[in-house]
Amino acid sequence: MTTTDAIRTALLLAQGHDQNTLRRLASIGMLHRVRHGGYVTDPGSDERARHRQLIEATIPLLGPTTVISHWSAAVLHGLPVWNAWLGRVAVTRPPNSHGVRDRWLHSHSCPLPEDEVDIDQFLWPVTDLSRTGLDLARSQPFSQGVAVLDAVRRAGVGADHLDDLIARSPRRPGMGRARQVVLFSNPGAESPGESLSRVFLRDHGFPPPVLQYRVEGPSGEFVGRCDFGWPDDGVLGEFDGRTKYQGEFVPDSTGLGVLLDEKARESRIRELGWILVRWTWPELGQPQALARRLWAGFRQAARVRAA
């Protein structure tokens, strides 16, 4: 964990500042309040960075048996998180502790074996990658759990290992759902958008796709790679996680040249007879309309093949 500049209020007071001075420094932007009793001099650039600052400002208040877990551990491990989770630091305490939820802290009470805790990589003990993924898979909606466990498996954790961890505590709340998430998880999904797309495809009855499908030309030459492929149906799917740039959707951190290359690749794929259907984050939020459009692509591909 890269340290932030989180500063405890008690330290500032011990250095000779008073509360009025702290309020004045905050009012002119020289200090930024992270939580009660904690400030930073430079607020994080995004929700993940700000949550890291919140974690660091909270660590001095944690007891020795407390472990950072759930979404807070996910931030530290670089797993997908949803901004709605990040207002509180998530921790896990021993079973004889009481779960606590206040403005800044969400404490879970649960057994936590030593081999499920990473004590070396961060400033404070943190649930390891596998335990973090399972905690979220059993406590969050199925689709979000899939996004997390796809990333966990992409990092090299096997499904068998996750199943073994579930078998340790099969009656823990949410473990049935976690088991289903593990079963559905796939390291071939390369982004949260692709993971949520997989759930969408399953929920709307589409055949299981080949992930990261390699498209080849007549001589076997590489033409392109698409997120989803249905080679028996002649259909390709592409989740387009893009941002606005000069009025158009273009890939994050890329320029016009990449966009033109992508357009040329898409044209070549279509020339080979494939039906390529793209969708974006907003379209994932309208699943019925997206399902109709994708099924239309399947019907179009069937007509092309029958011609």
**Together in a domain, 197 and 183:** no
Do the domain assignments include residue 123? Answer: yes
Burial class of 79 by CB neighbour count within 10 A (0 to 12, 13 to 18, 19+): buried
How far, in Å, CA of 179 to CA of 136, rounded?
12
Band (pLDDT 50/70/90 cuts) for residue 6 is low
pLDDT at site 149: 99
HSE at residue 302, side-chain half, CA atoms within 13 A, is 6
pTM for this structure? Answer: 0.85
Do the domain assignments include residue 40? Answer: no
Contact of 3 with 123, CB cutoff 8 Å: yes
Chosen domain end from 187, 206, 239: 187
**Together in a domain, 183 and 200:** no
Question: What DSSP state is assigned to residue 247?
Answer: T
Do the domain assignments include residue 271? Answer: yes
**Together in a domain, 69 and 136:** yes
CA dist list (Å): 267 to 110, 117, 238, 274 = 54, 49, 14, 10
User: What are 247-274's pLDDT values in tens digits?
Assistant: 333 344 445 556 667 788 889 999 999 9
Chosen domain end from 137, 162, 187: 187
Do the domain assignments include residue 112? Answer: yes
Question: What DSSP state is assigned to residue 275?
Answer: E
**Together in a domain, 183 and 199:** no
- Is pLDDT of 235 > 70? yes
> What's the CATH number where 258 sits?
3.40.960.10
- Residue 78, domain extent: 48-187
**Together in a domain, 239 and 256:** yes
User: Lowest-pLDDT range, 10-24, 55-69, 285-299?
Assistant: 10-24
Band (pLDDT 50/70/90 cuts) for residue 97 is confident
Question: Taking all residues of the chain, what is their mean pLDDT, rounded to a whole number?
Answer: 86
Could you tell me the end-to-end alpha-carbon distance of the chain, in angstroms, rounded to an integer?
A: 58
Top-ranked range on mean pLDDT: pick from 19-23, 106-110, 286-290: 286-290
Contact of 103 with 113, CB cutoff 8 Å: no
Contact of 234 with 274, CB cutoff 8 Å: yes
Chosen domain end from 187, 212, 246: 187
**Together in a domain, 177 and 271:** no
pLDDT at site 216: 95
Do the domain assignments include residue 11? Answer: no
**Together in a domain, 75 and 180:** yes
Q: What is the dihedral of CA 258, 264, 268, 274, to 10 degrees?
A: 70
What is the phi/psi pair of residue 295, to 5°?
A: -65, -35
pLDDT at site 14: 59
**Together in a domain, 79 and 168:** yes
**Together in a domain, 183 and 230:** no
**Together in a domain, 210 and 96:** no
CA dist list (Å): 141 to 47, 70, 93, 147 = 20, 14, 23, 10
Host H or E run for residue 217: none
HSE at residue 236, side-chain half, CA atoms within 13 A, is 21
Number of domains present in the structure of the chain: 2
Strand partners, 100: 107
Do the domain assignments include residue 14? Answer: no
- Is pLDDT of 223 > 50? yes
Do the domain assignments include residue 151? Answer: yes
**Together in a domain, 271 and 158:** no
Strands (E), 82-208: 89-93, 100-101, 105-109, 117-118, 126-127
- Is pLDDT of 300 > 50? yes
- Is pLDDT of 104 > 50? yes
Contact of 131 with 165, CB cutoff 8 Å: yes
Cβ-Cβ contacts under 8 Å for 229 (sequence gap 6 or more): 209, 210, 211, 213, 215, 235, 236, 237
Band (pLDDT 50/70/90 cuts) for residue 8 is low
Tokens of 140: 């969050």
Handedness of CA 201, 207, 211, 213 (dihedral sign): negative
Instruction: State the average pLDDT over residues 267-283.
Output: 94
User: What are 22-45's pLDDT values in tens digits?
Assistant: 677 666 666 666 766 666 677 777
User: What are 148-168's pLDDT values in tens digits?
Assistant: 999 999 999 999 999 999 999
pLDDT at site 245: 28
pLDDT at site 58: 87
Band (pLDDT 50/70/90 cuts) for residue 243 is very low
Neighbours of 65 (CB within 10 A): 12
**Together in a domain, 94 and 68:** yes
Do the domain assignments include residue 20? Answer: no
How far, in Å, CA of 43 to CA of 29, rounded?
10
Proportion of the chain in helix, strand, coil states, percent, rounded to 5:
45, 20, 35
